Amino acid sequence: MACGAPTPATAVGDADSAPQPVIAESGPVIVFLGDSLTAGFGLAAKDALPEQVAKIFKDDGIEVRIINAGVSGDTTANGLARFGWSVAATDPDLVVVALGANDYLLGIDPEITKQNLSAIVQKARESDIDCVLVGLQPRGALDEGSRDAVFAAIYPDLAAKFDLEYYPSLMTGVQDKPELLQTDGLHPTAQGVKIIARNLAQFLEPIVESHE
């Protein structure tokens, strides 16, 4: 089962309607390009990850404009296809790429996932947008040569190849705690998102400050 099916409620717009920044009125612009973990599947809009990261920055006195370009159900191919209007059209300083969970769950060839993510990073560079790559840690044992191991290796390999800022996994500290997950066992609750957001905000803070 993919991480949420695409619905009008979780889409972020269309080619004529780019997503809008939230929280701050000035500061660097960050776009979160992701799937249901970014879109806030099963949660109120204010509880989605980008909105929570924005709130943390606001509370800490850090000026930053954050755009939620997450669409539930998106694969890396979907993210690549909409990069132009979901990311480039907003003219951001930074894109946080958090895609691949649905590729993994749908059994997509890891090499295709790697190619799509590589193309996204290249498009970001062509648009002069800095990129943070968020990794994926499958829950299974990462036995050498297994699909899980190959999939997990995509992200550090690309981060090294393109010299990217690399965040290993959104779900660290949450994915193994049922009380922080929705009933599907995949998506975080609002409380789980707050934990994810605090960890990610701490990682992003020096990157944001370098763009001020």
Catalytic residues: 36, 184, 187
Provide the token pair at 3. 């991480």
> What DSSP string describes 100-168?
-HHHHHTT--HHHHHHHHHHHHHHHHHTT-EEEEE----SS---TTSHHHHHHHHHHHHHHHHT-EEE-
| Secondary structure of residue 41 in the 3-state scheme | coil
Which H or E element spans position 67? Answer: strand 65-70
How far apart CA 182 and CA 188 sit, in angstroms, is 6
- Residue whose entry in the numeric block shows the structure tokens 């599947």: 41
CB 96 within 8 A of CB 67: no
